[in-house]
Structure 1
Amino acid sequence: MLAIEDDAYAAFLTRLGASWRDAAQKPRAVVVFTAHWTTRHPAVSMTDGPYETIHDFYGFPEALYEVTYPARGSKAVAERVRTSLAAAGFPVSVDPARGLDHGAWVVLRRLFPAADVPVVQASVVPGYAPEQLFRIGEALRPLRREGVLLIGSGGTVHNLMSLRWTEAEEAEAWAVAFDDWLLEKTIRRDVAALFDYRRTAPHALRAVPTPEHLAPYWIALGAGLPDQTPEVLYRDYQYGSLSLLAVAF
């Protein structure tokens, strides 16, 4: 619903994208790892043409299915991603036909509404351990110096069975506790604890019942610069526990 509702989170993303343009820091391209494309090994889109907008959700208002985001791809950047991951020892496949799923286009449409930044969409591998996902980010870190923005699009607390669909006024304490722990360990760069989050984090199994939505976080963390402190750009919750957390690494 972020695509068609003008709430506080949508306003934040719009401001963030505008701040990059105003400061002449619009990226040359974007690589977005989306929780809604899961594969057994890393995969990247490979096209220069405009993407199909995939409406991979059901039962929402008709207006949402009418939204399109005709961003173009970049074979050159996709090849940089592929070769960088292959050099780090990851088997990588390319997909010339896949469109942008809602983990990518919903966020990008707010950041870059003109669809004027080339996009490479990348999958996440929920079967990989956090350490392996971190290494994916590390392998792509040099792309930052080439003007490429790396985005992990998922959710730190994403348990649809625990949501209160009548909009809750306050966030659930267990969801806040998990994110508090995650951020504290992240800022301290305590990667040993982070990688062992299922055993050491409070409410880990409730916050992360399946790993695909947290997987992009580990990739973004790995892509971050080790000598810079991560910055929380936005934090809120919908329906009691659905985490809307944006962190800059």
Structure 2
Amino acid sequence: MPLTPVHFFSHGSTMMLGEESASATYWKKCGDAALANNIKGVVMMGAHWDARGTNRIDVSMNPTPTKSPVAYVHPSKYVDYKLNPDLATGEKVLGMLKDKGVDARANESFDWIHDTYLILIRMFPSACPPATIVSMNARFDPHYHAHIGSILAPLRSEGYLLIGTGGAVHNLYRNHWAQMLLHTDNFAQPSPPDDAMLEFRQSVEDVFVKNGGGRGLRRGVVRLMKHPSFRDAHGTDDHFMAACWVAGVCGADGSREGEGEEAILGAEDWEMVNMCNSQFTVGAWRKQVASH
């Protein structure tokens, strides 16, 4: 079976669920294409769930998860959306990880957070496809998360859509909150983004688009954590781990699978002056759908 595309989506603030944007339009386009190509399910790594332990990764196995509340978004946008946890695929993911020596554990109490279900609602507004969420590891080692991605890379050839959701530039300490808090305007740009944010944002685009899939993407993404502007662009490491995971999915250990795939910047929005929500796709469907 042809490889499915892989997405690294910057989910941004909670208001990305409630406000229309170029990113939201692109997410929907990607969801339509996935459904047209009959995906088997979605496997995701987000930015708001990590497991403690040297070699530990949790997999969501809660059959009836609830949704964590979302600030600054009307409940009608998400409360009634029915989640669709894929326990069978969760068991499959656990087995794949354990076979490679990962301390993978089933988490039967995890409730889903906006970093993942925001994306699912935007991509699949009519109904949530079968979905499995994989945690980060709390040590935030980029090479380790790329390795986890490489273990799960074979799911692409089985018809699963793999999505990492974090942020290209995501530092809450550097955001300008006034326009959002006072006027609920998350897209206001009363001043240009800081130079460090612009520099790191460009470096992320260069690494994805100029490398495409394969080992070059994997090396480039993990190396971005040594970029001189990384700590300005990311006050904490959590929102960059999904990018490392995606790079591992597209540049598997000891495999040339994914080499030569094109990567594109599909859409982008700036929020609160300094948060850059870049949306990347590596690979493409053989069967495309027309955009609406």
Same fold per superposition (TM over 0.5): yes
Post-superposition Cα deviations, 1:54-100, rounded to whole Å, max 9, x if no partner, equal 22x55x35537862431221221111111111122211111122222
Aligned counterpart for 2:96 among listed residues 84, 89, 111: 84
Q: Secondary structure at the match of 1:196?
A: helix
Q: Equivalent residue for 2:9? A: none
- Matches of 2:31 and 2:218 in 1, distance apart? 29
- 1:172-187 aligned within 5 A: 172-186=194-208, 187=210
- Give the C-alpha shift of residue 5 in structure 1: 1.8
Distance in 2, Cα, partners of 1:112 & 1:190: 28
Cα contact 1:159–1:242 (8 A) shared by 2: yes
1:195 to 208, 218, 222: 222
Q: Look up the equivalent residue of 1:46 and give its one-letter code.
A: M
The alpha-carbon deviation at position 230 of structure 1 amounts to 2.1
1:7 Cα shift?
2.6
Q: 1:51 to 1:115 in 2, by over 3 A?
A: farther
1:238 paired with 2:253, answer no
SS state of the match for residue 235, structure 1? strand
Write the deviation string for residues 144-187 of structure 1: whole angstroms up to 9, x where unpaired: 11111111111121111111233215443321210211232343
Q: Is the 8 A contact 1:3 1:64 kept in 2?
A: no
Q: Deviations over 1:13-51 (max 9, x none)?
A: 122212333xx214211111111111122111124x443
Q: Report what 1:159 is aligned to.
A: 171
Please give the TM-score of this superposition, normalised by the length of structure 1.
0.88
Given that residues 14 and 111 in structure 1 are in contact (C-alpha distance below 8 angstroms), is that contact kept between their aligned partners in structure 2?
A: yes
C-alpha RMSD of matched pairs (Å):
2.2
Normalising by structure 2, we get a TM-score of 0.76
Identity %: 23
Q: Which amino acid aligns with 1:142?
A: P
Is contact 2:68–2:112 with CA below 8 Å preserved after alignment? Answer: yes
| Corresponding position of 1:248 | 281
Letter in structure 2 aligned against 1:52: T
1:168 aligned partner, one-letter code: Q
Task: Call closer, same or farther: CA 1:198–1:16 in 2, change over 3 Å.
Answer: closer
Over 3 Å counting, the alpha-carbon distance change for 1:75 and 1:191 in structure 2 is closer
The number of aligned residues is: 243
Maintained 8 Å contact 2:43/2:134? yes
The list of structure 1 runs, each at least 4 consecutive aligned residues, that deviate by more than 4 angstroms after superposition, is 190-193
SS in 2 for 1:71: coil
Q: 2:42 aligns with which of 8, 20, 30?
A: 30
Task: Tell me which amino acid in the other structure corresponds to 1:44.
Answer: V
Question: Mapping of 1:220-231 within 5 angstroms?
Answer: 220-224=246-250, 225-231=258-264
The farther-off stretch of 211-220 and 4-13 is 4-13
Which residue of 2, 9, 12 maps to 2:26?
A: 12
- The answer to which structure, 1 or 2, has the higher relative contact order (CA under 8 A, 6+ apart) is 2
Please give the alpha-carbon distance, in whole angstroms, between the structure 2 residues aligned to 1:27 and 1:64. Answer: 27
Q: 1:113 matched to which residue of 2?
A: 125
Residues 64 and 126 (structure 1), Cα distance of their counterparts in 2 relative to 1, 3 Å cut: farther
Q: Determine the C-alpha separation between the residues in 1 that align with 2:193 and 2:269.
A: 8
Contact 2:17-2:77 within 8 A present in 1 as well: no
SS in structure 2 opposite 1:160? coil
In structure 1, the partner of 2:66 is: 52
